[in-house]
Amino acid sequence: MRKKRLLLALPLLLTACATTPPSSVENACRIFREKPDWFDASLAVEKKYGLPVQVQLAIMRQESSFKHNAAPPRETFLGIPLWWRESSAYGYAQVKDETWDWYKDKTGNWGADRDEYDDAVDFMGWYADMSQKTLGISKWDAYNQYLAYHEGHGGWQRKTYNSKGWLVSVARKVDANARMYGEQLRGCRHRLNSSPWWWPF
């Protein structure tokens, strides 16, 4: 009976592990050691779109803290939470409904889900590619990539972020985290590429 219960519980445990945020978000090597499938997905996006892995991580950390079901707070009335939320943004990449539909329509990735890491980073890569082609923003420029990600292409062109000091500060933080992750990855990337995930770094 105990063995049967264990077998029944195993899929639930695996699902929980797959969706739980990394235990440490300060170190890219530890993130990918804990989530080897994330490294495979991020590497595939880097090869497909040219968006560096460290920029993917920095934007995702800012947007959702690596929570698969992250969502904005609910609207309130007299301090009482209402049914609807402040925005339709959802998932790892905090993408709004209409933007996600645009992505699926342009890429044909109709089965994509915002709460799946591989789909979320593919969206990031696609959007950064659009930002580079439309606005000329380098994919290595985490600061401006994030501003275009947050404000949209039109907002970035109009420089709407200039009136949002808090957003400029956040973009600087994203840039600093991307640089930190990049430095960390330089020390462990070869092992992530070649070693079994259980090997210590």
- The answer as to whether 91 is a domain residue is no
In the chain, what percentage of residues exceed pLDDT 90?
A: 76
- The answer as to whether 108 is a domain residue is no
* pLDDT value of residue 74: 44
DSSP class of residue 30 equals H
* pLDDT value of residue 86: 60
Q: For residue range 118-131, what is the model confidence (pLDDT) as tens digits?
A: 999 999 999 999 99
Q: Does the pLDDT value for residue 162 go beyond 90?
A: yes
The residue among 68 and 86 whose pLDDT is bigger is: 68
DSSP class of residue 24 equals -
How far is residue 71's CA from residue 90's CA, in Å, rounded to a whole number? 5
- The answer as to whether 51 is a domain residue is yes
195: helix, coil or strand?
A: coil
- The answer as to whether 55 is a domain residue is yes
* pLDDT value of residue 200: 46
DSSP class of residue 68 equals T
88 pLDDT band, cuts 50/70/90, is confident
- The answer as to whether 78 is a domain residue is no
* pLDDT value of residue 1: 52
79 pLDDT band, cuts 50/70/90, is low
Across the range 40-53, mean pLDDT stands at 98
Q: Does the pLDDT value for residue 114 go beyond 60?
A: yes
In the chain, what percentage of residues exceed pLDDT 70?
A: 79
pTM of the model: 0.84
User: Can you tell me which residue has the tokens 């259980």?
Assistant: 198
Write out the residue range of the structural domain in which residue 172 sits.
22-66+117-194
- The answer as to whether 40 is a domain residue is yes
**Number of separate domains in the chain:** 1
115 pLDDT band, cuts 50/70/90, is very high
* pLDDT value of residue 83: 39
- The answer as to whether 155 is a domain residue is yes
Q: By the 8 A CB rule, do 142 and 55 touch? A: yes
How far is residue 142's CA from residue 56's CA, in Å, rounded to a whole number? 9
Q: By the 8 A CB rule, do 25 and 31 touch? A: yes
Q: Does the pLDDT value for residue 157 go beyond 60?
A: yes
* pLDDT value of residue 58: 98
- The answer as to whether 111 is a domain residue is no
74 DSSP β-pair partners: 85
